[in-house]
Structure 1
Amino acid sequence: MTDTTLSPADAFLRDPCSPWLLLAHLPGLGERRWQAILDHLPDPSELLTLDPASLRTIGLPPLARAGVLAWQQGDPDHPAMQDAQACWHRLKDQAIQVIHWGQPDYPSALRQIHGAPPVLYLKGQRDLLSRPQIAIVGSRNATRSGLDHARQFARALAERGFVVTSGMALGIDGAAHQGALDVGGTTLAVLGTGVDVVYPAAHRGLAAAIPESGALLSEFPPGTRARAGHFPRRNRIISGMAQGTLVVEAGLRSGSLITARLALEQGREIFAIPGSIHNPLARGCHQLIRQGATLVESVQDIEEQLAAWGSPAPAPAPAEEEPVVPEHLGAEAQAVFRALAFDPCSTDDLCDRTGLSADALLQAILMLEMDGLVLTVPGGYQRA
């Protein structure tokens, strides 16, 4: 039972997570210095027991050393102690979970990367962090075709048991998360804010839905607002958590290429979906393919590449050679459906393939769109 006579400061100090929350709030403890601590100490929480000379030896800056001294002296008024205690209260109030380096369920894949964060904050299903993951990333200003690809690949990967991981940005990220949710799968959103801060605001509904079966994850304490520098840091966690990263659409200066580069440095697989040579958002994917990324046309391409990890996903059902044409469609709509493929097809080409007049063709396409069987895309129409 909790001793209700304890002061808030004493209750904080007695929590097993409190040393790790202080480590996470020490000023100047970025990726490089945290890695230096990992290189010197088998148990990083031992940092809080070191004398000033030892702290200087491992490169801890003066303000961080002062924070450690405040911990050793039990000084609740030091700013780092106050920040850690305020975070602890927010975690309790909002039922946010802490995952720290000293716990056995800290993600094993993340332990392998350079500068992995000492503390993670989570809302949702903690157990999914140990499951196989595929990251799906891409442009915030994606084309309709790119959004469809992201959603379809996320659905297929989720159905095969993968956790679909992304950054909950607009565009490809959001489509990937939604695709996994569409089929009752699991998805992990790694945030550049606190897990209690919705960014972008347009994804408020997505942020509420994900923790039901998936999780929101961040290295930033609750209440942290979006800042430009947070998102490159977030990207290393997205790629580090996953066995591979699939880039759907990306310009040559896209942040998704940063994620792909980090995945390469972390020894992960990189996948890219090719696109039209006229689409600027395909150029980043084409560059990745030239540099050795696996060209992806189907989920099977990803599964084959990941077989080397020793835990291939369940085999998919055999692909059908011919599309199943819904019987309720009229003859003209059936003819158009058979003529369509997964690449855009113009109305002129469809008229040639089906022998229909333009008016009859457009009427058939309207019926197919109402059934969700056809998509309007740049260049014409394609099968959904």
Structure 2
Amino acid sequence: MTENDLLYTLALQHVAKIGDTTAKKLINHCGSAEAVMKEKRHNLLKIDGIGAWTISDMFLRNHLEAAEEELKFIKDEGIKALYFTSEEYPSKLKHCIDSPILLFESGNINLNKKHIISIVGARKVTSSGIAFCERLVEELAPFDPIIVSGFAYGTDITAQKAALKHELQTVGCLAHGLNQIYPKAHKKYVAAVENNGGFYTDFWSSSVFDKNNFLKRNRLIAGISQATIVIESAEKGGSLVTADIANSYNRDVFAVPGRITDTQSVGCNNLIKHQKAHLLSNPLDVPYILNWQLEDNKTPTIQKQLFVELDANEKLVYAFLKESEKELLDVIALKCNMPTYKLAGILLGMELKGVVRPLPGKLFEVI
């Protein structure tokens, strides 16, 4: 992408009434952002879906002036500007209709890996949520995934710190320009993230910091990744927005269940209840469902003490499934000599403990 191409793409991105979807339509029709900005108004109005209101302020001089200032910032700070058709642009994000026409990057991000997951959750994450998040990253580490999050308080920074601890690449998607860091308390992590990953944003250095930016930022978190994992969430929250966006992109979503009385589990439980997310009770459910494969010289760092946590009935069911590998609910009930209704409750408890997983067709297997 030449400097001139970048200048005009920035100018087009600066037009408030033209979003990313419309900008792509205009560029595809005219051939480039420069061609769009120099095209006659009446010719643009012939494009399907382009009305007078959309392009009403597109020809104002201030767009190029603002673009020149932002281009100077990009050059001075050594920021990478990724065009939506370039090879460096995140491949999964390319397929999202509302992905940005320009994505700004700092650090040393390399997405040439198969496994990219987003981990999101409550800012006021509980101690159990922190523990599960850290365990999740630790047990997924042998698969060498890239951990994407929003660099916010709570779940986000927990996931990204865990990634750094296990020397995994991590990417923070920001709701502001690369001239600042929010929250300021996380500035101390910036260098470490940029050394083993980096940051993405589609906001300019001159963008006004607003809470709605976080909702727009969430499409990057969901779009870059193969799957989104929600650790904890209240009934409403940004994590649920990210999960909804991931579902709209036809990506896998996982949610960690919790007690029905826990405020920070309501959102996750609802995602599972409404079949918008896989139930995630054990970290290794992720590679199992996503069909990840380990390299020959790596093994998962699983640390389980199964029987310490199992009662007599659970031990009986586990022993049977361990021998049979997987079996139907009715067969398990028959072989373990217990009513089906009772077994169903036992299996749910074992699933929540990360001991068994359900399969299609009322089958169950040990993990």
For Structure 1 versus Structure 2, the TM-score category normalised by the shorter chain is: 0.7 to 0.9
Q: Is the 8 A contact 2:110 2:197 kept in 1?
A: no
Superposed CA RMSD in Å reads 2.8
CA drift at 1:237: 1.1
Shift of 1:210: 0.9
C-alpha separation in 2, matches of 1:190 and 1:144: 24
- What pairs with 1:289-368 in structure 2 (closer than 5 Å)? 289-292=272-275, 293-307=277-291, 312=293, 314=295, 316-317=299-300, 319=302, 321-322=304-305
What's the CA shift string for 1:139-182, capped at 9, x where partnerless?
11111111222222233334421110011111101101111011
139, 154, 173: which one pairs with 1:156?
A: 139
Task: Find out whether 1:284 has 2:284 as its counterpart.
Answer: no
User: Counterparts of 1:157-236 in structure 2 under 5 Å?
Assistant: 157-236=140-219
Name the SS for the 1:197 alignment partner: coil
CA contact (8 A) 1:191 1:218 kept: yes
What is the deviation of 1:220? 0.5
Same amino acid, percent of matched pairs: 26
Q: Are 1:101 and 2:84 counterparts?
A: yes
CA distance, structure 1, for counterparts of residue 18 and residue 28 of structure 2 = 14
Which of 3, 6, 30 matches 1:17? Answer: 6
CA distance in 1, matches of 2:69, 2:200: 19
Paired position in structure 1 for 2:42? 53
TM-score, scaled to structure 2 = 0.75
Asked if the contact 1:124/1:211 (under 8 Å) is kept, the reply is yes
Return structure 1 stretches of 4+ with deviation > 6 angstroms: 338-341
Quote the Cα distance in structure 2 between the aligned partners of 1:61 and 1:166: 38
Structure 2 stretches lacking a partner, 5+ long = 311-367
User: In the aligned structure 2, how far is the partner of 1:222 from the partner of 1:172?
Assistant: 26
Contact 1:27-1:80 at 8 Å conserved across structures: no
Match of 2:110 among 119, 127, 130: 127
When residues 106 and 209 of structure 1 are mapped into structure 2, their CA distance, relative to the original with a 3 A threshold, is same
Distance 1:168 1:321 in 2: 30
Cα deviations by residue, 1:83-119 (Å, 9 ceiling, x for unpaired): 1010011111111111112322211211111211000
Give the counterpart of 1:112 among 95, 98, 101.
95
Change in Cα spacing, 1:218 to 1:304, as seen in structure 2 (3 Å) is same
Distance 1:158 1:35, change over 3 A: farther
* TM-score normalised by length of structure 1: 0.72
Change (3 A) 1:290 1:14: closer
Alignment check: 8 A CA contact 1:105 1:130 kept: no
Is structure 2 residue 256 aligned with structure 1 residue 267?
no
Q: 1:24 Cα shift?
A: 1.7
Q: C-alpha distance in 1, partners of 2:53/2:303?
A: 65
Aligned match of 1:142: 125
Letter in 2 for 1:298: N
Distance 2:104 2:301 in 1: 40
Aligned to 1:92: 75
Aligned residue number for residue 37 of structure 1: 26
Taking structure 1 as reference, are residues 14 and 265 closer, same or farther at Cα in structure 2, changes over 3 Å only?
A: closer
Amino acid at match of 2:66: D
Distance 1:159 1:16, change over 3 A: farther
Query: C-alpha separation between the residues in 2 aligned to 1:274 and 1:23?
Result: 44
Offset of residue 185 of structure 1? 1.0
* CA deviation string 1:269-312 (max 9, x = no partner): 010111122211111111111122111122221112112xxx64
Distance 1:103 1:26 in 2: 22
Mapped to 2, the partners of 1:131 and 1:188 lie a distance apart of: 15
> CA 1:156–1:34 in structure 2 vs 1: closer, same or farther (change >3 Å)?
farther
C-alpha distance in structure 1 between counterparts of 2:274 and 2:141, whole Å: 28
Closer/same/farther in 2, CA of residues 45 and 154 from structure 1, 3 Å limit: farther
Shift of 1:188: 0.6
Q: Give the letter aligned to residue 290 of structure 1.
A: K
Bigger drift between 16-25 and 188-197 goes to: 16-25
Cα distance, 1:42 vs structure 2: 6.7
Q: Deviations over 1:336-364 (max 9, x none)?
A: xx9689xxxxxxxxxxxxxxxxxxxxxxx
